[in-house]
Homo-oligomer: A and B are copies of this chain.
Amino acid sequence: MTRVRFHQSLEDLKEKLLVMAGMAEQAIQRAIEAYRVRDLSICDLVDRGEMAINRFEREIDQTALDLLAMEQPMAIDLRFILAVIKINADVERVGDSAVTISDRVRDLQAFPVADLPVDIPRMATLAAAMVRKALQSFIEADAEMAQSVLSMDDSVDKLNGNAYFSLLNLMKQEPQMTPQALHALMIARSLERVADHATNIAEDVIFWVSGADVRHHMSVRNHNESQDSQ
């Protein structure tokens, strides 16, 4: 494989990961739309979408492995391919969270519609934006943008904490609402998990771009340093 073709393969890998991330983000949006309008046909779409996401995950891993095996890439490309492999795993789990939400929506169908003190669509918009921005920071190799995803995670955690206490109070005061409140709580938790995956992705981007390991929320100051300085 020539260098030109090798770099084309890296671009293809990135492209495939982006398509898959778009599918995962759409899965979250669909699951929340299913929750909002209580339409189980949308849940079916989420389930079918997950199978497609799983296929993408396998293809991306295999392509990445082939590139590593055949091309013996240099440090900078190696770091990129490893980032793809790690981001791939987190994107796939975003798809899993969409299915978890969709299952909850199905269970909710057995109970009357309730006006619950939690803004699930708002949490979902924020979590989906984190996934999108994390991937965007990957395309643009922008460690600062990735860093901003880490800050967004605090907002989701806060919304989730508020949801917990509001729903807890509702359950204590109106025990007959417990099933619906509990399902909403679990959906909120799944969205928090989506935000965690976006955070993991952003950390991998920072690791890739900067060569500095900022996982576990260390600050990123040196992202312009040489890729190979570690």
Contact = CB atoms under 8 A, between A and B. Distances in A.
Given A172-B175, A215-B58, A78 B69 contact: yes
A19 to B, nearest CB: 18
Interface string A52-92: 00100110011001001100101100110010011001000
A42 interface: no
A10 interface: no
A2 interface: no
Contacts of A172: 175-176, 178-179
How many subunits of this chain does the assembly comprise?
Answer: 2
B189 A178 contact: no
Nearest to A200: B89
Contacts of A176: 172
A189 B215 CA distance: 24
Nearest to A61: B213
A215 B57 contact: yes
Nearest to A181: B171
A210 B163 CA distance: 44
A215 B54 contact: yes
A219 interface: no
Given A58-B213, A62-B230, 19 more contacts: A54-B215, A58-B215, A62-B213, A68-B68, A68-B82, A69-B74, A82-B85, A85-B86, A86-B86, A89-B200, A168-B179, A168-B182, A171-B178, A171-B182, A172-B175, A172-B176, A172-B179, A182-B185, A189-B189
Interface of A: 54, 57-58, 61-62, 65, 68-69, 72, 74-75, 78-79, 82, 85-86, 89, 164, 168, 171-173, 175-176, 178-179, 182, 185-186, 189, 200, 213, 215-216, 230
9 contacts: A54-B215, A61-B213, A65-B78, A82-B85, A168-B182, A171-B178, A171-B182, A186-B189, A189-B189
